[in-house]
Chains A and B, each alone.
Chain A
């Protein structure tokens, strides 16, 4: 163990070597060179950012026999003694072990003793937030009436725990998290001095894992150098930091966005087996997701916490929907909280993975999933998307009338659906009309309420079918459900298990079974219109009133719809009610 850790050997001994705190060191140097020093300082900031090092440099500079521009010379015997921690006049105290009133009183008393060698007696009190209230009060008295030629430097990683009365009597310096660039610069310097080869990507990974602490970075660097064979490679770094590769992360996030629970869980188990730390993983997913959002907004790689902008990353940010990424972050944040006090981290992660894959909405295209059937289709999608944008703008203007947001959505859905090739489904109009005859708003509302839960309750394969379904009309004994794809209508109509399952569920939840009629969503309006026409012809008054009822409620909507129809063409507009 004669090997000294990098963070000890390369501890900065002058202000110019303190990385990432230019504002602080500049101010301190100026004060020193102009003899403008104070009797009490508070250095606060996260761990490994240079607080204790700066305090010692300051103590040296104050007492140095030949200081230059506020920097200690590090040659005179006072500087040397202080560097080795051997000068009696520079006293380092750890507040955690000496946190009582008695200890502070003793310090106050001893502070009155003249320094033995140096000009200034310097007390460096580390982790000062650990002092008891009584100790703080005792310290306050000394800060109020400081003895001459005594300087107190208080250091802490938790400034919010320091009473304001103390803070107000010190000159406060906030040490910031050191930027990745500064950390990399320092590591590069050290590695060059030591003639050690390195991969710049590895340094970036270390810098990001260090999260702003230079000491953390140097500890990791130390470990990578010793566990590998003397060079710093990315692979070794990832192994040491326990981080997962970016590719794996993209795989995992994509699986979630594609509702691929199976893949997500498979990846999760693989990562756990490889020894990835569960808590680390959650943290990484959150940071990575945030990176996606940040990059989507700013396109600035420097703002990213842990990601490298390569092809896959770019594609992911182009195709991922911000709302869903947001949901991922929300779910993971919650999971992180729950996991904190548990020994069953992995179970929480399994649950989280399932939840992530359940996040609702349209499928997202990533390079991982099957490439779309034709490039022709993608072009068509693009042109339809453009038309869609125009439509949205128009509708937004009319939103003031409080129209159903579903109205806006409808055209969108229709667009994407149209792109995929379809088999034509024959609507069982007889069945549908039968249901419509007795349809009520109430039944529909009830059904809409339970629909998401119903889908949730189905098995994976059934869910796949029902995922895009929507109830559009309901009677006491039947319901009409639209599907985005004809083929799904087909499947649903023919799947007796599914129909039974739905029936069972509805029986439990709303008290009665219901006949299921399926209609492709693009045909719905026509079917409905056909029904209305038929009823008009058959049963004058009764239908009028029903129709009027409906019409009244859809009046506002109609205005929007007609505009939509104008812009888009009647056949392309489906109104879901």
Chain B
């Protein structure tokens, strides 16, 4: 667990108040984008519950706190997807566990990560249990996709929204970690998870990809049909695997968003900092309608990737579509 400053001090403060007033409810849903500190806060909450040395918060040093953060406490149970979904037998086992009192004390804490990954059956069988659990239990569900949850689940929990850190904050904290200004700018646009951003920055392919995608954009913006060949010669060799295919699309989206938002607000901090002059030029040239069209093409491309259409085909297709649009511009 990171020893850096806490991600959501406001939320922790709120929970501290509740703990003091003994008004902590039995079921919460932590929802927010990845990297906003949901799991970290959930484990902090578990520590608060069990720590023997609790004063302004859990001590984080005693063997209880340590075991919780290293996922070794018998009464802090974490459930996550095995593969792509959380299945009903996992929930059955959980319910078995929950009908008993804790091992070290009466209390129990359950964390279900990415609860939107539950199969419908698993989710439904959890309902009664979330509504009226037996004993001293605190359940925390986390999700990045609240809209995908059954309304019957949402109805039974208290929602806690985990906001993203502001972009400026994230850029600064990435720079603190030693990233260059340019890197920090792009990565903070790519992900709001600081740790993930740092990980990505260590990926050498990433820097090449950032520049490759820019080159690709440039070629397209000059309406040069070379862009089509470019996919094959420059993009494909750099990418392998779905994550990287999406990365390419996401980087392209950042360029488009930069151009769009720079038009709207002079102070917009672009992601593609390195090329911001060209971006501003493009902003003069391309209308918002065109940009919206281009963004839609990329978004659709991402959907194709999700349906497992071959990446090269997707990149080529979006290239053609974008060329058509670009040709209509000045």
Interface set of A (CB-CB < 8 Å, partner B): 1-5, 7-8, 46-48, 85, 92, 94-97, 99, 126-127, 130, 157, 213, 215-216, 219-220, 222-223, 226-227, 240, 242, 261-262, 265-266, 269, 273-275, 277, 279, 338, 340-344, 347-348, 350-351, 354-355, 357-358, 453, 456-460, 463, 501, 504-505, 508-509
Contacts and interface: CB of A to CB of B under 8 A. Distances in A.
Contacts of A354: 260, 288-289, 291-292
A338 B296 CA distance: 10
Contacts of B74: none
Given A265-B264, A460-B263, A97 B290 contact: no
A219 B88 CA distance: 26
B91 to A, nearest CB: 8
A210 to B, nearest CB: 9
A3 B328 contact: no
Given A94-B128, A97-B95, 9 more contacts: A216-B154, A265-B265, A277-B31, A342-B299, A350-B260, A351-B299, A457-B289, A457-B330, A459-B330
A510 to B, nearest CB: 12
A265 B299 contact: no
B147 A279 contact: yes
B132 interface: yes
23 contacts: A1-B136, A2-B22, A47-B155, A48-B155, A94-B124, A94-B128, A97-B95, A99-B121, A127-B127, A127-B152, A216-B151, A216-B155, A223-B159, A261-B288, A275-B161, A279-B146, A347-B299, A354-B291, A456-B289, A456-B290, A459-B287, A460-B287, A505-B328
A219 B288 contact: no
A157 B152 contact: yes
Contacts of A348: 299
Nearest to B137: A1
Shortest 3 CB-CB contacts between residues of A and residues of B: A96-B124, A275-B163, A96-B125
Interface string B295-330: 110010011001000000000000000000001111
A220 B138 CA distance: 18
Contacts of B327: 508
Given A48-B155, A279-B147, A3 B120 contact: no
Interface string B131-164: 1100011100000111110011011111101011
B92 interface: yes
B17 to A, nearest CB: 8
B18 interface: yes
Given A94-B127, A95-B124, A265-B260, A223 B158 contact: yes
A345 B134 CA distance: 38
Given A1-B24, A273-B166, A347-B257, A357 B158 contact: no
Contacts of B128: 92, 94, 126
Given A222-B158, A459-B286, A351 B292 contact: yes
Given A94-B125, A459-B286, A508-B327, A343 B155 contact: no
B302 A344 contact: yes
A205 to B, nearest CB: 15
Contact of B299 (A213, A275, A277, A344): A344
A178 to B, nearest CB: 12
A463 B289 CA distance: 11
Contacts of B306: 341
From DSSP, what is the main secondary structure of chain B's interface residues?
Answer: helix
B253 A347 contact: yes
A428 B145 CA distance: 61
B287 A463 contact: yes
Interface in B258-301: 260-261, 263-265, 284-292, 295-296, 299
A3 B136 CA distance: 10
A48 B250 CA distance: 40
Contacts of B154: 216
A316 B41 CA distance: 43
Contact of B151 (A47, A340, A504): A47
A453 B328 contact: yes
A8 B328 CA distance: 61
Contact of A215 (B25, B155, B302): B155
Contacts of A226: 18, 21, 23, 25
A366 to B, nearest CB: 20
B14 interface: yes
A130 B295 contact: no
Nearest to B261: A265
Given A1-B138, A97-B92, A157-B152, A457 B287 contact: yes
B73 interface: no
B26 interface: yes
Given A127-B124, A130-B124, A357 B288 contact: yes
Given A275-B164, A344-B253, A347-B299, A5 B25 contact: yes
A536 B27 CA distance: 87
Nearest to B28: A223
Given A240-B159, A265-B264, A338-B299, A460 B138 contact: no
Contact of B161 (A127, A277, A342, A504): A277
A215 B161 contact: no
B298 to A, nearest CB: 8
Nearest to A126: B128
Given A222-B158, A347-B295, A504 B330 contact: yes
Nearest to A283: B147
Given A46-B151, A97-B88, A266-B265, A355 B24 contact: no
A130 B25 contact: no
A463 B284 CA distance: 12
Interface in B14-50: 14, 18, 21-27, 31
A354 B292 CA distance: 7
Contacts of B260: 265, 350, 354
A459 B21 CA distance: 58
B295 A351 contact: yes
Nearest to B166: A273
Contacts of A275: 161, 163-164
A36 to B, nearest CB: 30
A512 B151 CA distance: 58
Given A354-B288, A459-B284, A463-B287, A219 B155 contact: yes
A456 B22 contact: no
- Which of A1, A157, A343 has the most chain B CB within a 10 Å cutoff? A1
Contacts of B263: 262, 460
A310 to B, nearest CB: 27
B108 to A, nearest CB: 10
B330 A501 contact: yes
Contacts of B124: 94-96, 127, 130
B2 to A, nearest CB: 22
Contacts of B125: 94, 96-97
A47 B330 contact: no
Contacts of B121: 96, 99, 130
A157 B124 CA distance: 11
- Which of A127, A157, A216 has the most chain B CB within a 10 Å cutoff? A127
A537 B161 CA distance: 78
A459 B155 contact: no
Nearest to B268: A269
Contacts of A351: 292, 295-296, 299
A219 B289 contact: no
Interface in B105-141: 107, 120-125, 127-128, 131-132, 136-138
